[in-house]
Amino acid sequence: MLRAHKIRLYPNNVQSTYFARACGVARFAYNWGLSEWQRMYEAGEKVNDGILRKRLNAIKREEFPWMLEVTKCAPQQALINLGVAFGNFIRRVKQGETPGYPKFKRKGIRDSFYISNDQFQVIEDSVRIPKLGWVKMAESLRYNGKVVAATVSRRADKWYIAIQVEVEGTTKATTSSENQAVGVDFGISVLAMLSDGTRIAAPKATSRYAKQLRRLNQELSRREGAKKGERQSANFKKTKQKLARLYAKMAELRSDTSHKLTTNLTRDFTLIGIEDLDLQSMMEEGNLSRALADASLYELRRQLTYKAEANGARIVVADRYYPSSKRCSSCAVVKHTLSLSERSYHCDSCGFTCDRDLNAAINLKQYALAAIGDY
C-alpha cells in the first residue's frame, strides 16, 4: 500500500529558483502537449501521451534546450498526467456525463513537478534533487519502506515535497465489538459529533479570517492596473503574495483539523458508521454553501476511506435516506418532521431527549453494528 508524507522544504535562493524553473518546465510541457494533442486529433493522426513524449524528447535539445537544466521527470510526467486527463475525459463522455475538457495550465496555479524514485535520495532530514543537490526538509521521512516517487509543490511562497512510500498493510482486526465501534455525524458548526459524546469543533477558517480577506482583496483591487495587461506594480505583487499566504494558512488549518480527526478515528476504532451526504444538493442551498465548503466534508470522507484501509478499520456508510436525525436512538421511532433549527431531539413516544447531533451519531453506530451483525 502507498502512503505519502508531505514535508516542508527550506530551500535557499538558488534552490527556490530551480524549483520555480522545474515547475515552469512541467507547465510548458503540459501546455505544449495539450496543443499538440488538439492539432493531431483534428488532423486525424493517432495521439497519446507516449507519442507526445517521444516527440518532445526528439526536439527538446534543439527547440527547448532550457528544459535540460532541470530533472527530465518534470516534462515527462506532465505529459503522462495529460494522458490521464484525456483518459478521464473520454471515459466520462462514454458514461453520458458532460465533463470539462482538459485546460491549459497557468503560472502560479498549483505549481509542481514530479521526480521518480531513481532520481532523488532521502537521508534523515535532507533530500537530494537531481541537478541541484541536497535540500533541507522540516523533518525526517515518517514511513519505512520502498520510496516510489516524490512531488515538489508550492503553496504561496512555501515549498513542499510529498514522498510516496510503499509500506506493508496493517493486520488489525476488522471485526468490532460495541466499544470498538463509533458513529460519526458530520456537520457545520460541530464538524464531527461522535457517538461517545465527543465534539470536534469546525475550524471555520473563512469566517475566522473574513476581515483580513476583505481588507487584502480591497487593497489588491486598489493596486491593480487600470488597463488589462498593464504591468503590475511592486505593491500589487506584495499584496497578492500576502493574500496567497492567508489562503494557504486557511487551507492548512482545514487540513490539520481533518487529518487529526480522521487519523484518530481510524486508529481508535475498528468500526466507523457515517452517512452518505448528498453534498452536491446541499451546496446548492445558498445559505449553507459557504459553510459546507469551509467544512470540507468531501475531503473528510476521502481521508477517512483511505486511512481506514491503511489502519484496518471498517467504514459502514448509511444510505443518504436513512433517518439518522429523525430516528430515536432509544426506541427507534422515527419522527415525521424535524426542522434544522431544532438542535435538541425529543422523542414523543418514549420521552428520550438528547442533543440532535449526538442522537444521529448513536443511530449511525447502531446502523454500523447491525450491518455486520453485532447489534
Q: b vs e for 55-65, b when ≥16 Cβ sit within 10 Å of the residue's Cβ? A: bbeeebeeeee
Cross-sheet strand order for the sheet of 133-137: 112-116, 146-155, 158-166, 2-10, 133-137, 126-129, 121-123
> How many CB atoms within 10 Å of residue 203?
20
Contact 200, 187 (CB under 8 A): no
C-alpha of 104 from chain center:
21
Residues in the chain, total: 375
The residues that are catalytic are 185, 275, 357
Packed helices 210-223 and 234-268: angle between N→C axes, nearest 10 degrees: 150
Contact 124, 113 (CB under 8 A): no
CA-based torsion, 105, 111, 116, 119: positive or negative:
positive
> How many CB atoms within 10 Å of residue 217?
13
Which residues, listed in sequence order, are joined to residue 164 by a DSSP beta bridge?
4, 149
* Cell representation of residue 331: 426506541
As a whole number of angstroms, the distance between CA 356 and CA 358 comes to 6
